[in-house]
Chain A
Amino acid sequence: MTITLNKITKVVAGQTHIKPTSLTFQTGHFNVLLGETGAGKTSLIKLMAGLDPIAAGTIEMDGQDVTKLSTQKRNISLVHQFFVNYPHMTVFDNIASPLKVAGMAKSEIQGRVEEAADILQLRPMLHRRPHELSGGQQQRTALARAIAKESRAVFLDEPLANLDYKLREELREQLPELFAGRGAVVVYATSEPEEALLLGGSTALMDDGNVAQFGPTAEIYRKPQTLTAAKVFSDPPINVAKVTKMGSTLIMGNSARWDSAKMKDAPDGDYQIAVRPHHVTPKPSPANTVKLNGRVLVTELSGSESSAHFAMPDADWVSLSHGVHPYQVGEDHPFYLDPSACMLFAEDGQVVAGGAV
């Protein structure tokens, strides 16, 4: 089972919301759509589900053109960010509803609903109504409906975003097993880079209605093709600075300069470097050798990690380091950059040289 998008476009009132997008989603692993709110993840899912009209392009499922097929006939499932269930039906009827509409025999419905309810631990709640359930149970009901239907494609639109932290972790661990071996193409939209990495598979990075990059998740995390892709796939935000290259030396304004052998092939001129926050540390190390000076703006402590936002000439940077590091807000503090982890981008945002991760 595959879903293939051929240059699909969405236009609303003369404005292009989804620019021509071509992607192929495969079964067997999670296909993650990663991007900020408003990047077009939900729009893209709605186009694939047939809920919104496509301005141009075609959608194929298993080689069959479904562009003109109605939502009802596409045999898909969708789980929304908000818990959407039929309020007047019991959990059992909610899970059974797509099967009943399809005209399945009662005994088979019973079996499928109970199987899905067992997987999602909903068995004791089958006779309750959605409003009598907790948020996590309501979302599990929606997931159970998607599983019981055994559709060709399952779209999960930030299904965990409205759950509290513990439930989210629990359900996130369960999700890949839920859909493993069912043969459906799973498309999972999220705004958290961490979720994309955890759920693996392949990831499409979305930005402003564009797919910035698409490929195996680990690969596009390691080798972003554009600065935009690097920015989308980084949380906290990736650090960016303007540099000038002269020979094998990179010069970052008045703040720093260092030798970079691997970039020596590129022509001299102005570039942008991007470096992930955990390659900028408050203490020097064999790898972290380039000293930067910044004024500490904000600090955060999260158990085993300390992060500091500090002011640099071009922009504010973030440092993320292991252990508890004492910062004073407002102080000038040295930070050390790992030059081998720097990614070099041309001024138009195209990658020139990648960095080690």
Chain B
Amino acid sequence: MRKRSLIPILYILFLMLPIYWLIAMSFKTTNEILSGFSLFPQTFTWDNYITIFTDPSWYWAYVNSIIYVSLNTVISICVALPAAYAFSRYRFLGDKTLFFWLLTNRMAPAAVFVLPFFQLYSAVGLFDTHIAVALAHCLFNIPLAVWILEGFMSGVPKELDETAYIDGYSFPRFFITIFLPAIKAGVGVAAFFCFMFSWVELLLAKNLTAVYAKPIAAEMTKTASSAGYELGLLAAAGTLTIIPGAIVIYFVRNYIAKGFALGRV
């Protein structure tokens, strides 16, 4: 028993080490971080967190990120639901090609799209708005959401649709009251992945914003200045960045296993 649990314990320690290091750093002063190796904070300090929660440019960066990530998740799911339903239920000319083409959007690096998005958004006056980033992230997240949802929807037998029509349900009523509850795990998983990809995406978010919609990832670069790096502050900001993801993953942890079983995550 002890021997068997040794390897998983080592593995988990190995995985947790960088996260522990980040959290430990966030409670140290920058001087201590630079002075050498220490496993625990020698002079424990909340200063880094206090800075973040009192400086509007810091906490607004978090709010900005949460706004465009939430916007993006809602848009992606709302657009992907009907698309995924069509792919899973209907056969039409070029359906398989179109499905594959959607996925290829995820294969191009984000950097390719920075210039066209920047130019386009500047021209139509969307530059430095939350919706600009949310829409840009749709390019990656809608195909992903369509793909995940299509898998879950295809797992629901077509006979369920037929039974509902025979029972008298109109299509919208069937979709909302019967079909959505039947695939709610899929919606959870798709929303989670949209959230995560949008939350960690840096390049588009940084380049499509300046002041009003500045995301946390861009704000973090502020810690580098001519006076050197404020490593403690950077670590505290990093720790806070992990938290939303951790909260979301807690809620969808059971559904994600289902998604893996379907081969769609």
Q: Which residues of A contact B (CB under 8 A)?
A: 46, 49, 51, 70-72, 74, 76-78, 80, 82, 84-88, 97-98, 101-102, 142, 145, 149
Q: Are A77 and B166 in contact (CB under 8 A)?
A: yes
- Measured in the bound complex, the distance between the Cα atoms of B75 and A27 in whole Å is 51
Q: How many A-B residue pairs have CB under 8 A?
A: 54
- A18 CB, nearest partner CB in chain B, Å: 17
CB-CB under 8 A from B169, the residues of chain A are 72, 101
Contacts A80-B159, A101-B173 given: A86-B166 contact, CB under 8 Å? no
Q: A86: which of B160, B162, B165 is its contact (CB, 8 Å)? A: B160
CB-CB under 8 A from B160, the residues of chain A are 84, 86
CB-defined A-B contacts under 8 Å, sample of 16: A51-B162, A72-B169, A74-B166, A77-B166, A78-B162, A80-B163, A82-B157, A82-B159, A86-B178, A87-B182, A88-B181, A88-B182, A98-B166, A98-B168, A101-B168, A145-B167
Interface of B is mostly: helix
- Measured in the bound complex, the distance between the Cα atoms of B157 and A70 in whole Å is 21
- A96 CB, nearest partner CB in chain B, Å: 10
Q: Are B159 and A101 in contact (CB under 8 A)?
A: no
CB-CB under 8 A from A102, the residues of chain B are 168
- B37-59 vs A: 1/0 string, CB under 8 Å? 00000000000000000000000
CB-CB under 8 A from B35, the residues of chain A are none
- Asked whether B170 is an interface residue with its Cβ less than 8 Å from the other chain, the reply is yes
Q: Are B182 and A84 in contact (CB under 8 A)?
A: no
Interface of A is mostly: mixed
- B53 CB, nearest partner CB in chain A, Å: 41
- A22 CB, nearest partner CB in chain B, Å: 24
Contacts A49-B162, A88-B181 given: A98-B157 contact, CB under 8 Å? no
B: number of interface residues (CB 8 Å): 17
Q: Which residue of A lies closest to B181 (CB)?
A: A88
- A138 CB, nearest partner CB in chain B, Å: 12
Q: Which residue of A lies closest to B182 (CB)?
A: A87
Q: Are A78 and B181 in contact (CB under 8 A)?
A: no
Contacts A82-B157, A84-B160, A86-B160 given: A72-B170 contact, CB under 8 Å? yes
- Measured in the bound complex, the distance between the Cα atoms of B181 and A85 in whole Å is 13
- Measured in the bound complex, the distance between the Cα atoms of B167 and A111 in whole Å is 18
Contacts A84-B157, A98-B168 given: A78-B163 contact, CB under 8 Å? yes
- Measured in the bound complex, the distance between the Cα atoms of B178 and A233 in whole Å is 40
CB-CB under 8 A from A87, the residues of chain B are 181-182
Q: Which residue of B lies closest to A46 (CB)?
A: B162
CB-CB under 8 A from B168, the residues of chain A are 72, 98, 101-102
CB-CB under 8 A from A97, the residues of chain B are 167
Extra contacts besides A76-B166, A78-B163, A82-B159 (8): CB < 8 Å: A80-B163, A84-B159, A84-B163, A85-B163, A86-B178, A87-B182, A88-B184, A101-B167
- A38 CB, nearest partner CB in chain B, Å: 18
- A175 CB, nearest partner CB in chain B, Å: 19
- A68 CB, nearest partner CB in chain B, Å: 15
What 7 A-B pairs have minimum CB-CB distances, sorted nearest first?
A98-B167, A88-B181, A101-B168, A71-B165, A84-B159, A80-B159, A78-B166
CB-CB under 8 A from A80, the residues of chain B are 159, 162-163
Q: Which residue of B lies closest to A87 (CB)?
A: B182
- Measured in the bound complex, the distance between the Cα atoms of B181 and A76 in whole Å is 25
- Measured in the bound complex, the distance between the Cα atoms of B169 and A71 in whole Å is 9
- Measured in the bound complex, the distance between the Cα atoms of B164 and A2 in whole Å is 24
- Measured in the bound complex, the distance between the Cα atoms of B164 and A208 in whole Å is 29
Q: Are B167 and A49 in contact (CB under 8 A)?
A: no
- A144 CB, nearest partner CB in chain B, Å: 13
- Measured in the bound complex, the distance between the Cα atoms of B168 and A79 in whole Å is 15
Q: Are B167 and A51 in contact (CB under 8 A)?
A: no
Indicate the member of A46, A97, A149 with the most B CB atoms within 10 Å. A97
- Measured in the bound complex, the distance between the Cα atoms of B184 and A49 in whole Å is 29
Q: B165: which of A51, A85, A142 is its contact (CB, 8 Å)? A: A51
CB-CB under 8 A from B173, the residues of chain A are 101
Q: Which residue of B lies closest to A85 (CB)?
A: B163
- A110 CB, nearest partner CB in chain B, Å: 18
Q: Which residue of B lies closest to A98 (CB)?
A: B167
- B241-253 vs A: 1/0 string, CB under 8 Å? 0000000000000
